[in-house]
Amino acid sequence: MSDCPSAPLVIDRVSLEMSLASRWRTPRMRILDAVSLSLAPGEIVGLVGESGSGKTTLGLTLVGRHRPTHGSIQLGGSALAPGTPAQRRLQMVFQDPLASFNPRRRVGDAVRLALDVHRIGPPSARGDIVQALFAQVGLSSEHAARFPHALSGGQLQRVALARALATRPDYIVADEPVSKLDVSVRAQILNLVRRTNAETGVGLLFITHDLAAAQFLCHRIAVMYLGRIVELGTPDAVLGRPRHPYTARLVAGTAYDGSAGADPRLGAREACFYAPACTRRLPRCTQERPPLDETGLACFRPEELPPEPGREAIPALA
Ligand SMILES: Nc1ncnc2c1ncn2[C@@H]1O[C@H](COP(=O)(O)OP(=O)(O)OP(=O)(O)O)[C@@H](O)[C@H]1O
Ligand code: SF4
Ligand SMILES: [Mg+2]
């Protein structure tokens, strides 16, 4: 946990535009479009949505790897921006455990480096802090002395969590932290994440394609579609009684190829991006953008949806 009292994380209408190629005058794509989301101290919010919807980009923006084109990110009232000291209060755990470590550095030294860079604790105490962090994630000093390739994927994700915790963050962005792991160790790592949240009070933005994992871990779930949040609520509400047609489709596991037709992220914003695929479309859906309302829905037809045919119950995790 942070030295300072934990503070809410407020993502306020964050947009991010990027050029699709380095050529002059290439179209700019709005990869994140006025994303607003607040995390309470200690809260775990799941971020789900199909591939390419912008989940990783939002995570990278939160930890200062991208500067928003519009909007702001605030932690306890202070604005976060790339390079600001407060950025250390947000850390990230990446999807690919092996790729996130320098192959020539012992993993204990990788965690120590995070302490050195951010000047956490007196230098003479940092060795003990590293040991305590390894113990916290269920590893020993013997593991700390190994190089990344000598650890399993699950062990490396434990080290990644220890490294993220080293700066005593208020929030961790965990980007699909178990998707590259063997099924047999996934539940162990999810349990560790949950225990760490309970013990340290660190909040999490948990990015996942695994709806069962989101249901197991998260206090709330946000559904992202083409850079916009279209639904937000408790796991029971969002996954059990989805109200947005896109969420219903996601929960049902019915694939939708959004690549048919022009990508709406390159064009007019004053429309619901889901309109081309929506069977409930109204005339106004192609002319106005539905805002995310106070009930957590961005849709002009707020009636509850009938059960999706073929929707299966989400299996419970151990
Ligand atoms: N550096 C970049 N330059 C240009 N476009 C990018 C860049 N990074 C991501 N994109 C585009 O932004 C969109 C969102 O990508 P992102 O990786 O955030 O999606 P995602 O939701 O994390 O997908 P996945 O579930 O596959 O991990 C995609 O269309 C991607 O091609
Ligand atoms: S706003 Fe309109 S097009 Fe968009 S999901 Fe709702 S009903 Fe469908
Ligand atoms: Mg991603």
What are the sequence ranges of the domains in the chain? 1-21+28-318
How many whole angstroms separate alpha carbon 203 and alpha carbon 174? 10
pLDDT at 128: 97
pLDDT at 303: 74
pLDDT at 23: 62
Query: What average pLDDT does range 280-308 have in this prediction?
Result: 88
Mean pLDDT score of the chain, rounded to an integer? 91
Residue 282 three-state SS: coil
pLDDT at 1: 42
How many whole angstroms separate alpha carbon 312 and alpha carbon 251? 8
Q: Please tell me the residue having the least CA distance from ligand 1 atom 29.
A: 52
Going from the Cα of 314 to the center of ligand 2, the distance in angstroms, rounded, reads 25
Q: Residue 225 burial by CB count (10 A; 0-12/13-18/19+): exposed, middle or buried? A: buried
How many whole angstroms separate alpha carbon 318 and alpha carbon 316? 7
> What size, in residues, is the chain?
318
pLDDT at 318: 46
pLDDT tier for residue 316 given thresholds of 50, 70 and 90: low
Query: What average pLDDT does range 297-307 have in this prediction?
Result: 80
pLDDT at 269: 81
pLDDT tier for residue 2 given thresholds of 50, 70 and 90: very low
pLDDT at 175: 98
Counting ligands in written order, which one lies closest to the CA of residue 274? 2
Q: Percentage of residues in the chain with pLDDT exceeding 90?
A: 78
Backbone angles phi, psi at 110, to 5 degrees: -65, -40
Going from the Cα of 178 to the center of ligand 3, the distance in angstroms, rounded, reads 13
pLDDT at 254: 78
pLDDT digits (tens, 9 = 90+) for 204-231: 999 999 999 999 999 999 999 999 999 9
Structure tokens that stand for 139 in this block: 């590893």
Among 57, 209, 226, which residue has the most ligand 1 atoms within 8 Å of its CB, making it the best to mutate? 57
Going from the Cα of 276 to the center of ligand 2, the distance in angstroms, rounded, reads 9
Q: Please tell me the residue having the least CA distance from ligand 1 atom 31.
A: 52
| Rounded-to-10 torsion of CA 67, 68, 70, 71 | -110
The residue among 91, 75, 86, 67 whose CA lies nearest residue 14 is: 67
CATH architecture of 1-21+28-318: 3-Layer(aba) Sandwich (3.40)
CA dihedral (83, 88, 92, 97) positive or negative = positive
pLDDT at 230: 98
Per-residue pLDDT at 181 exceeds 50: yes
Query: What average pLDDT does range 89-113 have in this prediction?
Result: 96
Going from the Cα of 56 to the center of ligand 1, the distance in angstroms, rounded, reads 7
How many whole angstroms separate alpha carbon 231 and alpha carbon 302? 11
pLDDT at 82: 82
Q: Please tell me the residue having the least CA distance from ligand 1 atom 4.
A: 20
Backbone angles phi, psi at 286, to 5 degrees: -95, 0
The residue among 162, 176, 175 whose CA lies nearest residue 60 is: 175
How many whole angstroms separate alpha carbon 168 and alpha carbon 134? 14
pLDDT digits (tens, 9 = 90+) for 220-274: 999 999 999 999 999 999 999 999 999 999 999 876 655 556 788 887 788 999 9
First to last CA, the chain: 27
Counting ligands in written order, which one lies closest to the CA of residue 27? 1
Going from the Cα of 78 to the center of ligand 2, the distance in angstroms, rounded, reads 35
pLDDT tier for residue 308 given thresholds of 50, 70 and 90: low
Q: Are 59 and 73 in contact (CB under 8 A)?
A: no
Measured at the CA of 93, the angle between CA 92 and CA 99, to 5 degrees, comes to 120
How many whole angstroms separate alpha carbon 201 and alpha carbon 92? 16
Per-residue pLDDT at 3 exceeds 60: no
Q: Please tell me the residue having the least CA distance from ligand 1 atom 27.
A: 51
Q: Are strands 44-48 and 203-207 parallel, antiparallel or unpaired?
A: parallel
Q: Report which residue type is found at 21.
A: A
How many whole angstroms separate alpha carbon 306 and alpha carbon 312? 14
Q: Residue 127 burial by CB count (10 A; 0-12/13-18/19+): exposed, middle or buried? A: middle
Q: Please tell me the residue having the least CA distance from ligand 2 atom 1.
A: 299
Q: Which is the closest atom of ligand 2 to the Cα of 286?
A: 3
Going from the Cα of 81 to the center of ligand 1, the distance in angstroms, rounded, reads 20
Q: Which is the closest atom of ligand 1 to the Cα of 58?
A: 18
User: Which are the contacts of 282, defined by CB distance < 8 A and separation ≥ 6?
Assistant: 300, 301
pLDDT at 267: 76
pLDDT digits (tens, 9 = 90+) for 38-84: 999 999 999 999 999 999 999 999 999 999 999 999 998 889 988 88
Per-residue pLDDT at 25 exceeds 70: no
Going from the Cα of 278 to the center of ligand 2, the distance in angstroms, rounded, reads 6
Q: Percentage of residues in the chain with pLDDT exceeding 70?
A: 90
Local structure of residue 24 (DSSP, 8 states): T
Going from the Cα of 47 to the center of ligand 2, the distance in angstroms, rounded, reads 20
Q: How many CB atoms lie within 10 A of CB 32?
A: 29
Query: What average pLDDT does range 127-153 have in this prediction?
Result: 97
Q: Please tell me the residue having the least CA distance from ligand 1 atom 25.
A: 51
Ligand 1: residues with CB < 6 A are 18, 20, 31, 49, 51-57
Question: 63 CB less than 6 Å from ligand 2?
Answer: no
pLDDT tier for residue 20 given thresholds of 50, 70 and 90: confident
Counting ligands in written order, which one lies closest to the CA of residue 20? 1
